[in-house]
Amino acid sequence: MGGILNLIRGIYVLVPRNMTKAAGFYNTLLESDEPALVVECLNGYRLKEQKPTNFGEFKTPIGVVETVKEGNDITLLSYGSTLRIVHDVAKELHQIGIDAEVIDAQSLLPFDLNHDVVKSIAKTNRLMIIDEDVPGGASAYLLDKVLNEQNAYEYLDSKPMTLTAKAHRPAYGTDGDYFSKPSAEDIFEAVYGIMHEMNPNDFPKLR
């Protein structure tokens, strides 16, 4: 994804988390003259989604993030297949007292034209970006956008973190994905680690 972002600048790069969002992007694009790459996540084809009743009409806005879960303790920014894992982990974190805000980037080029991510960080004071690209890829691009363009560093109380896939191509099969890309356990432990650093009394070190 990092290669795509740097090699095809000048056209939209859209990363829907499911096929309904993808269809919304297509409806938006069909009414414009702008070229775009819509990256449909493979796992999205396996989802059971509610069937829209207004095919051809509903739209997904370009350059606008979506807050899929509100929270006060940490901002989790992701997209595509990984976003759904992050959303599930956020529910588990809530059970132990960590209230995470989950934001779907949806659109990488352009990204967050309304600067909604920095508004979230102003509330939570912490940031983690999670994706299944290699280190230095899309997560690094998003971190640059948030820190340098949105000036989110002004609100951070903890070091911003990225959680990515390993620096290699995943081995074939489900196990390859699990051990190469961020899993639910990886995300849970990384977020917990940030909260432990902030308040070790309430969030003692995991054993």
Compute mean pLDDT per 10 residues along the chain, 207 residues long, and list them.
91 95 94 94 76 84 97 97 95 96 98 98 98 94 96 96 89 75 94 94 88
In a domain, 207, yes or no: no
pLDDT in the model for residue 123: 97
Give residue 89's domain range: 66-198
Is the domain of 109 the same as that of 190?
Answer: yes
Q: In whole angstroms, give the CA distance from residue 183 to residue 44.
A: 17
Total structural domains in the chain? 2
Is the domain of 159 the same as that of 121?
Answer: yes
CATH code of residue 72: 3.40.50.920
Is the domain of 41 the same as that of 72?
Answer: no
Which residues, other chains included, contact 134 with Cβ-Cβ below 8 Å and sequence gap of 6+?
Answer: 2, 164, 165, 166, 167, 168
Is the domain of 85 the same as that of 143?
Answer: yes
In a domain, 204, yes or no: no
Is the domain of 80 the same as that of 17?
Answer: no
Is the domain of 91 the same as that of 140?
Answer: yes
In a domain, 54, yes or no: no
In a domain, 55, yes or no: no
pLDDT in the model for residue 124: 97
Is the domain of 102 the same as that of 130?
Answer: yes
Is the domain of 84 the same as that of 143?
Answer: yes
In a domain, 51, yes or no: no
pLDDT in the model for residue 72: 97
pLDDT in the model for residue 41: 87
pLDDT in the model for residue 76: 98
Is the domain of 83 the same as that of 42?
Answer: no
Is the domain of 36 the same as that of 131?
Answer: no
Is the domain of 104 the same as that of 174?
Answer: yes
Is the domain of 70 the same as that of 26?
Answer: no
What does the CA dihedral 111, 116, 121, 126 come to, rounded to 10 degrees? -40
